[in-house]
Amino acid sequence: MGRSTVHYADNKTNNALKKLHNKLRPAGTPVQRVEYIIELLLLRIFETKIKQDEEFKPLRKLFSADYVWKNPKTGTEESNENRLFSYLPTVSNEQILSELNDNFFPFYSNILHSARQAFEGNLPQKVQDQLVLIEEVFSNSNFTNNVNSGNLGEVISIVANDIEEARLLKTDLLGDAIESALSETGGTKMLDYSVHLTTFDNL
């Protein structure tokens, strides 16, 4: 990524990332924890983009009551109003994990197919790049296998409330998330992970 170990985010954001690592500590190594943090950040960043970025706005129709999607996890046709990150803080702590596992991850791991129905013509390149990345991340996620529901409500609350919306699009927040684990693991492992996620710098 060509980044130093100095964080570029503000202190509040860095503190939020540290809190996320602490809350997720039982879920695995620093490398694993940063993967889970990035998955939640991706959900919030994506929702912010469809609200603010003109090129992403056609995707709003995927989350309207009129759009029907067949959930491969359940085999039923469903609407997507509750598949944006902002819905998660309203879910009880005990239900968040099943919500992610049954509703969020199946949708986002196959979002390109749905997105193509929302656009007339080809997807804008930056939209396609974002969605390809989202599909890859959520298709290979171990989040719901390794993260216990114990304090997941607190984790969601930190992502929702402790990171300002302006930071989501104007800073390399995902790069900062990766760097947040450098102090807890070997630099080589985190460098390897950073190289794999170089696309994040251009989100």
What is the reported pLDDT for 169? 81
Tell me whether residue 44 is in a domain: yes
Tell me whether residue 89 is in a domain: yes
Rounded CA gap, 49 and 165, in Å? 10
pLDDT over threshold 90, residue 105: yes
Integer angstrom CA distances of residue 9 from 31, 50, 163, 174, 202: 20, 23, 10, 10, 16
Interval 94-119 mean pLDDT: 92
- In tens, the pLDDT along 150-188 reads 789 999 999 999 998 888 886 677 777 777 666 555 544
pLDDT over threshold 90, residue 44: yes
Tell me whether residue 4 is in a domain: no
Tell me whether residue 100 is in a domain: yes
Helices within the chain (DSSP H only): 11-23, 30-52, 93-99, 105-108, 111-118, 125-139, 143-146, 152-161, 165-170, 173-179, 187-196
Tell me whether residue 52 is in a domain: yes
- In tens, the pLDDT along 136-156 reads 999 988 887 888 767 899 999
pLDDT over threshold 70, residue 199: no
Rounded CA gap, 180 and 22, in Å? 11
Tell me whether residue 169 is in a domain: yes
Tell me whether residue 41 is in a domain: yes
What is the reported pLDDT for 3? 42
At 51, the pLDDT band (50, 70, 90 cuts) reads very high
Of 194, 172, 190, 161, nearest to 15 by C-alpha is 161
Rounded CA gap, 147 and 144, in Å? 6
CB 118 within 8 A of CB 59: yes
Rounded CA gap, 14 and 114, in Å? 34
Domain limits for position 156: 11-202
Interval 58-66 mean pLDDT: 93
Count of the separate structural domains present in the chain: 1
pLDDT over threshold 90, residue 112: yes
pLDDT over threshold 70, residue 190: no
What is the reported pLDDT for 181? 63
What is the reported pLDDT for 179? 75
Tell me whether residue 1 is in a domain: no
Of 86, 97, 186, nearest to 142 by C-alpha is 97
